[in-house]
Chains A and B, each alone.
Chain A
Amino acid sequence: MNVFGKLKQSNYQIAIISVILAIILAAWKPHVLVEGIQRACLYAVIALPMALILGIVGIINLAHGDFMMLGAYFAYFLNVYTGMDPLVAIFPALLAFFLIGIATYRAIIKYVLGAPELNQLLLTFGLAMVMEQLANLLWTSRPIKLPLKYVSASATFGSFTFGTFEFVYIGAAIIVLTGLLLFLKRTSTGQAALAVGQNPRGAKLVGIHVDRTYLLIFSLSIALVGAIGAIFMTRHSIFPLVGAPFTMKSFCLIAMAGIGNLTGILWCSLILGLAENFVLSFRGYAGWADLLFFALIVLVIMIRSRQRQVK
């Protein structure tokens, strides 16, 4: 299994497709291009921690988006009670969600590592439901949003105006991706984690503490996604179900890029983000934008499975 390695060939293909899409859009509908890239980076940055868990711990965390939702509420309440800016709240969120990750791993995830895939899916599904309903019970389903002035900053080129604050997503995506790649390639802990992802038994034989690695990777991913929640809530209204669609989108991106291919996620999210914004830009067809995304999931998974069978 070629996990977290060199750029695969398919990465180049996907990159070329997204670049071509981008050029066409730049000429035709520039705002679709800018907003599409911003949206794509948001998708990518949420999908990356999930890919990390799936690649190394081997669990699909169906509660992934809901951890982001909790992170968003965390930043919101920090702001309400201490006046802390959500972008500063990233740091306490990292710490808090690292601890939450440890607790979740120790209390729940640890016990299903060896269980059938079905049990793992159902468990995280149940976990997602508990988190959503708990949030619903505690904070009601009313959408909330902080009145932040700087999020509506914009820039104008000629007749074309676009929001500049959303570039923070692009920054976040680049930081998280390079950070993770450096961690996995340049540090011994990261190398050990890669080894565990490839072959837990082999890793154990050469003296890597497998359980501790799982714990670290799981908590790290939860910490990241919690912190992303803090960034997310600056621009978007939050409510208990806000994270759920992102779980599916993240999974779609991972399936598209192939498990273990972190860089590919960025390219795939570019395609998805641009395509989605493209459909949204037509008046009266906005309802079909979500359909496009779900259709893409089905299509991608089908094509991937076909490829596997041919090989």
Chain B
Amino acid sequence: MRNLRYLLYIAILIVLLTLPIYTGVYLLNVMDMILIYLALALSWDMLVRSGQISFGMAGLFGVGGYAAALLHLNAGVNPIFSIVLGGLAAGVLAWLIGMAVLQLRGMYFAIVTLALAEIFRLIVRNLPDLTGGPEGTVLPSSIFAGNSTKTYWLVLTVAAVSVMASEIFRRTRIHFALTSIRNDEIVAKSSGIDVFKYLVFIFVITSAIQGIAGGAYAHIYGFVSPEGSFSVDFTLLPIAMALLGGMHSTWGPVVGALLLGVASEFLKLKIPYGHLLVYGLIIVITILFFPQGIVGTIGQKLKKTHTA
């Protein structure tokens, strides 16, 4: 049974790696977007496992994007290396703000992260000499000179890194620490868990992933702008994806991202201005009717039939 499962994973991996061979440029571009959202959805979910909900993904995504783009443009850093540095910048920033902000819980944390994302956007917007101001900055060329196969592999790597990070967190003691913090912080504290340290750690890691995703996005499109890179979409859509798929797991956000990513491409063609409406409806309906998400609900059904 276990071997079969690993075979399945390897098969999926091979299909994903060789995807460029049997698909066209359009599908690869769609996959690029889906995989970036997948990384964001996973990173959001990893933080939610500790009970802290962040509305500030777009902020760190944008910071990563700007850091990568500006380092490449002004300091001549190699694009791939600059993406990593973008992640690093987002991570360091998250560490700095996390030291203060992670004292907060629940709705206060959520609102403060939302406000911080706006603050980052406004700072970037109001420093035209460094960032190009409201118009943004255009890179001389997109990464790999726009080669869609290489770009796809790059994004696949980013997504794979976040899947691996998420799985590592699921399988090590970090998982127990985060789960107990979520369930009852006082109990967690009295069992000797350094709550604050774990929260800062997970916040930095997830923010770094968001920064890397932002850097990759900036280099793929060769363009950063306050409204584009800090777009509220990068907060909303990943949340909708993780919710739909099912929170507190690796496969929930993955399934959610794939489903919603494909659906949104389709919806964009059908209703160009209203596809976000569907996202809102999905959030509302999921919360009301199956707060466990797709993976969670199916998992529960399976468990029931097993025990029955």
Contact = CB atoms under 8 A, between A and B. Distances in A.
Given A122-B283, A301-B108, 15 more contacts: A118-B48, A122-B53, A125-B283, A126-B284, A132-B276, A132-B280, A134-B274, A136-B277, A248-B111, A255-B111, A287-B125, A291-B122, A291-B126, A294-B115, A305-B104
A305 B283 CA distance: 30
A87 interface: no
B271 A137 contact: yes
Contact of A133 (B114, B118, B277): B277
B115 A297 contact: yes
Contacts of B118: 248, 290, 294
A126 B278 CA distance: 10
A305 B284 contact: no
Interface of A: 60, 108, 111-112, 115, 117-119, 121-123, 125-134, 136-137, 140, 248, 251-252, 255, 287-288, 290-291, 294-295, 297-298, 301-302, 305-306, 309
Given A119-B291, A288-B126, A126 B115 contact: no
Contacts of B223: none
Contact of A123 (B103, B236, B287): B287
B279 interface: yes
Contacts of B273: 136-137, 140
B110 A121 contact: yes
A297 B283 contact: no
Interface in B224-280: 236, 239-240, 243, 271, 273-274, 276-277, 279-280
Contact of B108 (A115, A255, A290, A295): A255
Contacts of B123: 291
Nearest to B274: A137
A193 B258 CA distance: 46
B100 interface: yes
Contact of B280 (A112, A133, A306): A133
Interface residues of B, number: 41
B107 interface: yes
B112 interface: yes
A126 B287 contact: yes
A122 B287 contact: yes
A129 B108 contact: no
Given A60-B107, A136-B273, A126 B283 contact: yes
Contacts of B239: 122, 125
Contacts of B114: 248
18 contacts: A60-B107, A115-B291, A126-B283, A126-B287, A129-B277, A130-B277, A130-B284, A133-B276, A134-B274, A136-B274, A137-B273, A140-B273, A248-B111, A252-B115, A255-B111, A287-B125, A298-B119, A301-B111
